[in-house]
Structure 1
C-alpha cells in the first residue's frame, strides 16, 4: 500500500531498541549520573534555534533521536535515587514498560465502545482502590485523571454541586489549612471562588489542621451569614508529610453537612503498606480522595485518580445529557468515563498502573513503601546524632526536614547557610536536598521514596551534609 507515510519498519525498530537500551542502561550507572542538569541561557538559546521549529524536509529517525536525547539530557532527574526535592517520581522499569504498552495501543479511554477492555480494568482498579481506602464497596467509584490538581478540581466540582446552592455561590466558603497544596486554591479560583471564600485554618505543632480552629472558623462564618460547604484535608502534606486528623475533620463535616475531601495525592499510597495503613484512620468517612500513582507508586507521568464515596455524583456533575443515572447504575457493566470527568479524550492511564501492580504484587509494593518511610527515619536518626543540627519536622510518610544551627549566627545568616548547604550538596552531585520554609525559616527537606537507595547511602549523604555545613559555617558572616 502506497501513501504519504513512508516509514520503514527497521529504522523504527532500531530506534525503539536504542531508546530501550538507553533507558535500561542508566540503571547500571545511577551513582554517577547527574541528579540535575539545567541548560544555561546560552545552551537554551542554542537548543531553541537549532531544534525548536520543524523543517520542510525530513530527517533520519536516528538523527532526530540523538537530538531528542540531547534535549532531554537537560532536566532534573526526578527518578534519581538521591533526588529528594519536591515529590520525586522514582519510576520503576516495569512502570515505564506499562506506559510503553499502554501507548502502543493508543486507546481512547473515553467511552466503553472505544475502550471496553481498558475501561473494564479502570473500573475494577478504581473500585479496589476505593475499598482499600475504606469507601463503601456498594457505591464507591472514581476516574483516572492527569494529576492531583485535576483530581482535586474534580472533587471540588462535586462539593460545589452537592453542598452549595446556586444562590449561595457568592457566600460559599471552603476550608483548607496553611499546609494545603497550592493546587487546591488554584482549583477553587478556576471554579469562580474568590480568595476571601477560601478560609485558611492554622496548623498545630504537628503541622496538622487545627480541629478546634476549624470548628471556630465554621461557627464564625455561619454567624457572619456565609455558607460553609467544603473542607479539604490532607494525608501527606508536601512540606512535612503531615496527616491531618481526618477522623475528627470528617465528624465535623458530617455534623455541619459539609463535603470533606482528602488530598492524598502523595500520602494515600501508604494505604497499600500493611505496616502504615493504620495512619489513615477516618478515611472511610470522607466524600472524596485524590491519589497520584505517579508520585509514590512508581508510574510515569501522568497517572492519578479521584475516588468518590458515591460514583453517581460524578455522572450527575459531568454527564452531557440529562440521562446521567444510567452510567452509574450497578447494571452498567462498563461506564463511559467521559461522563465521569472533564476530559472527553483521555488515555488509558489506569492500564499502565494495573500493569505494574500485576507484575510486582502488593506485598512487594508495600515493602517499597515501607523502605521509603524507613529511609526518612534513618536520615532523622543520623541528623539527631550530629551537633548543632535541629529537626524541624520529624519523619512522616518519608518526608523529614532539618536545619544546621551553629552558634553565633542570626536567623538570616542561618537561612543563608542552609541554602548554601543545599546548593553545595547538589553541586557535588551528592544529593538534591532542596530547601523549603518551616515556621518561617529555611530548612533542608528530604522526600526519600526511591526503592533503590540504601540506608548506608542515606547515612553517607547525611555525613557529607554535616561536613559541608562545617565548611560553610565560617563563610557566612
Structure 2
C-alpha cells in the first residue's frame, strides 16, 4: 500500500496568489515615504499567538502570510528614511530582488561545482572590493553574514598565523574603548581572555592613540606577553571616527603585528570618490571586515571578510572528508567552504551584484555621498538651535549632540536628552540614538538612508528641541 505524502508546496494557483500578495507588499513598502511610523509595537496577544506551536493541520496559505506580514511589520523599521539610530540598514528594493532570486534557486555556495555562476559572481565581487580597498594582487576573501563573522574569520586567521599553539595563552590583542563589541566577542571566541584583550588609549577625536598603543605593546612585551594583532576601526559606531590607519600600519610593520580593520559600515566610503581618501592606509591592513547590509544598501545577512593575502584563510578553515570529495575545487581557486567557518553557504553576493549592476558604480557613489551631506546638514541645524551643543561633528555620516541649557544640572540634562530620544521614537517621526560621550548622554544621528532629505534632518532637530523644552518645563 502506497502512503500518500502531502505536497511540499502549494498549488500553482495558490503560489501565484501568494507571490501577488508579496509583490503588492513590496511595492507598497518601496513607495512608502516618511509618513509611516518609524516603530510599530505589537500587542501582547499577537506576540503570544506568533510564538504558539505550529498547527497539526496546516492553515490556509493566505492566512499564514497575513500573520507573517503582521509579525514582520512590528518593531523598529530600520530602513525608514528617518531611522537614525544604531547603524541603519536602508535596504534597496534591488537587494530584495537579488535575495529573492537567490532563495528561489537555493544554491549551495560551499563548492564551485555546486554553483558555478553564483561562485563567479562572488569571486568577482571579492576581487573588485579588495581592489577598491587598495589591497594587492593575491588579496581575497568571502561573503559572510555580517561584520561579526567577518571579524571572527579575520581574527581566527590572525591568531593562527601569528601565534603557535603554546603561545596562545600569552597572546594579546589591541582595541580601544570605541572598538565595536563584535571584535571583543570574536577575540573571546578564538580563545582570548579579557586580560588578553588590551584597551589602548584614544586621542581627543576618539581615534586610537598610536603613541599610547606603542607604550602598551612595549609594556606587554616586557611582561612576557605576545602581542599579535591590532584591531583598528574605519568609522566607529559612536562618532564615525577613523583610527589613524597609516600610522597604525607603520607600527604593525615595525612590531611584526597583524593589522585588522573593522570597516563594517565605514569601508563603504571607499566607493565614493569624494571620500575614499578618508580611509587612506586601509589597503595596508592584513584584513578588513565590511558590511554590505549597512552603507551598501543590502538586506541583512550580507557582509565581507577580506584578507591582503587570501592564501592565509585556508590554513585555518580548510578541511577534508570523504563525503565532500564530489565538491573538490576545480582550478587554482579554493572552494569557499575552505575559506571560512561555514560549510553550507547561501548566495549572499548576488543581491549586491544585482544592486551594482542596476545602480552602477556612479549611482552607488552618489548614494553613499548623500549620507555625508545629511550629517553635515544635521550639524548645521544643531548649531543654529539655541541651547544645543555639537558633541561630535559630522564624520562618516554620523554626528552627535546634546541639549545643554544654561543652569540645568548635568544629571537632569542627561535624563532629558535620553527621554527626548525615547519620546521622538514613540511618536513615530524619527529614531535617534542615545549614547555617552565624555561621560555625558549625547544624541546621535547616523544618516545613511538615500531617501532621507535635509528637510528631514532639520525637522528632526526641531522636534527634539520642542520635546526637550517641554521636558525641562516639567522638571
Distance across 2 between alignment mates of 1:181 and 1:231: 13
Distance across 1 between alignment mates of 2:351 and 2:34: 28
Distance across 2 between alignment mates of 1:161 and 1:192: 11
1:82-231 matches, within 5 Å, as 82-137=82-137, 139-231=138-230
Partner of 2:324: none
- Using the TM superposition, name which of 269-278 and 93-102 deviates more: 93-102
Q: Cα gap change, 1:42/1:68 in structure 2, threshold over 3 Å: closer, same or farther? A: closer
Asked if 2 retains the 8 angstrom alpha-carbon contact of 1:233 and 1:262, the reply is yes
Q: Cα gap change, 1:425/1:183 in structure 2, threshold over 3 Å: closer, same or farther? A: same
Confirm whether residue 409 of structure 1 aligns to residue 408 of structure 2. yes
Confirm whether residue 4 of structure 1 aligns to residue 3 of structure 2. no
> Could you report, residue by residue, the CA deviation over 1:416-465 in whole angstroms, capped at 9, with x for unpaired residues?
01012112211222210121111111111100011011112211221222
The 4+ residue runs of structure 1 with deviation greater than 6 A are none
Asked if 1 retains the 8 angstrom alpha-carbon contact of 2:30 and 2:93, the reply is no
TM-score by length of structure 1 reads 0.95
Secondary structure class of the residue paired with 1:361: helix
1:65-464 matches, within 5 Å, as 65-137=65-137, 139-321=138-320, 332=331, 334-464=333-463
Distance across 2 between alignment mates of 1:58 and 1:47: 15
> Could you report, residue by residue, the CA deviation over 1:195-220 in whole angstroms, capped at 9, with x for unpaired residues?
00000112111110111110000011
Distance across 1 between alignment mates of 2:451 and 2:262: 27
Asked if 2 retains the 8 angstrom alpha-carbon contact of 1:112 and 1:334, the reply is no
RMSD, aligned α-carbons: 1.7
Distance across 2 between alignment mates of 1:99 and 1:179: 33
Secondary structure class of the residue paired with 2:373: helix
- Using the TM superposition, name which of 393-402 and 456-465 deviates more: 456-465
Match of 1:23 among 21, 26, 42: 26
Distance across 1 between alignment mates of 2:45 and 2:414: 31
Asked if 1 retains the 8 angstrom alpha-carbon contact of 2:94 and 2:351, the reply is no
Secondary structure class of the residue paired with 1:69: helix
Distance across 1 between alignment mates of 2:320 and 2:167: 25
> Could you report, residue by residue, the CA deviation over 1:73-114 in whole angstroms, capped at 9, with x for unpaired residues?
212101000000111000111111111111111010000110
1:49-60 matches, within 5 Å, as 52-60=52-60
Gaps of 5+ in 1: none
Distance across 2 between alignment mates of 1:261 and 1:108: 29
- Using the TM superposition, name which of 452-461 and 100-109 deviates more: 452-461
Q: Cα gap change, 1:328/1:86 in structure 2, threshold over 3 Å: closer, same or farther? A: farther
Shift of 1:333: 5.1
Distance across 2 between alignment mates of 1:33 and 1:197: 47
Distance across 2 between alignment mates of 1:30 and 1:452: 8
